[in-house]
Amino acid sequence: MQSASSALAPYGWDDAWAEAFAPYDAEGLIAGRVVRVDRGRCDVVTADGVMYADTAFVTPHDPLRVVCTGDWVAVEPAGNPRYVRAYLPRRTAFVRSASSKRSEGQILAANVDHAVVAVSLAAELDLARIERFLALAWESGAQPVVVLTKADLVPDATTLSYLVQDVETTAPGVPVLPVSSQRGEGLDALAALVSGGTSVLLGQSGAGKSTLANVLLGEDVMTVQATRDADGKGRHTTTTRNLLALPGGGVLIDTPGLRGVGLWDAETGVGQVFSEIRDLAEGCRFDDCAHDSEPGCAVRAAVEDGELPERRLESYRKLLRENQWIVAKTDARVRAERRREWKRKGAEGRAAMEAKRGRR
């Protein structure tokens, strides 16, 4: 395993992963990390190079348990095609709601240390959307980072400082880095941050993720289309999640632009994003205070005193309601699936009894 450990170290392999993989190593399987998934197949980087493997054996009905970019897997040493036989337990997982009409989660990346949320300064800041991304990032177990791209489009340093301050207020405990790929500003700080561990780039289409990826990689790996003159926005070009080793150390996962950022069982993440409200709530008279019209509400008092922006409280309430709805909907789906499973087993049992009686 020493040669494999050395070869996979740039992709995040460490002693803990080696220990977790030991049972599969004893079976003669090969360790690797998924760098791309596409239609039931995946590219896996191993000590012997990148292998193309089939995921048929690790494709359960639960969409949160399918193999995804960033997973460490056990691959067959030979075969045509080779198959992924298992993946190691994930340390972290970035999950969002698959859509507003389905009670399913979608896993975007696994085993991530930093969730880098790219936000373009070419358009007006959408603080509520940033809060959504941060809630999912905190819930994943990764450390969020907000990168304000296209800072060169901001007319002056004073305006830029105000924009950074607005985001810092929205993202307590989160580094906020303004960068300009055109001017090369702020990129050294970002490169230093992502040089340790695995980072995933997240954001809307046109946020400049692929440009950032190219700068960090030191080469044009990701296709970047020209910025539109009308609104200063780039066009979305990334269509799959790709994992790449950075020349300065660390690993980067670039993702397609996310139109929807639905929460998925992210109550802890929401609480982290709105930590000041969580702290204020400890002073409320009632433990189950909804921060609406209850007497002795410390949160409402902070709003009235100007200590807490009304927008923050409304955003907090909205995300909590959404999260409670998706959790309730998911629980209902799970109950329905269990009922169907019980009915299926019951039908099989009755059929077996009928067959047994027929043989008598």
Instruction: Give the per-residue SS3 of the chain.
Output: CHHHHHHHHHHCCCHHHHHHHHHHHHCCCEEEEEEEEECCEEEEEECCEEEEEECHHHCCCCHHHCCCCCCEEEECCCCCCEEEEEECCCCCEEEEEEECCEEEEEEEEECCCEEEEEEECCCCCCHHHHHHHHHHHHHHCCEEEEEEECHHHCCCHHHHHHHHHHHHHHCCCCCEEECECCCCECHHHHHHHHCCCEEEEECCCCCCHHHHHHHHHCCCCCCCCCCCCCCCCCCCCCCCCEEEECCCCCEEEECCCCCCCECCCCHHHHHHHCHHHHHHHCCCCCCCCCCCCCCCCHHHHHHHCCCCCHHHHHHHHHHHHHHHHHHHHHHHHHHHHHHHHHHHHHHHHHHHHHHHHHHC
The pTM score is 0.80
What's the pLDDT score for residue 337? Answer: 62
* Between 233 and 52, the higher pLDDT residue: 52
| Residue 248 confidence (pLDDT) above 60 | yes
What's the pLDDT tens digit per position in 269-281? 888 999 999 999 9
What's the pLDDT tens digit per position in 5-29? 789 999 999 999 999 999 999 999 9
What's the pLDDT score for residue 305? Answer: 94
| Residue 327 confidence (pLDDT) above 90 | no
What's the pLDDT tens digit per position in 127-164? 999 998 999 899 889 999 999 999 999 999 999 999 99
What's the pLDDT score for residue 237? Answer: 45
**pLDDT-derived band at 182, boundaries 50, 70, 90:** confident
| Residue 111 confidence (pLDDT) above 60 | yes
* Between 108 and 222, the higher pLDDT residue: 108
| Residue 224 confidence (pLDDT) above 60 | no
| Residue 311 confidence (pLDDT) above 60 | yes
| Residue 174 confidence (pLDDT) above 90 | yes
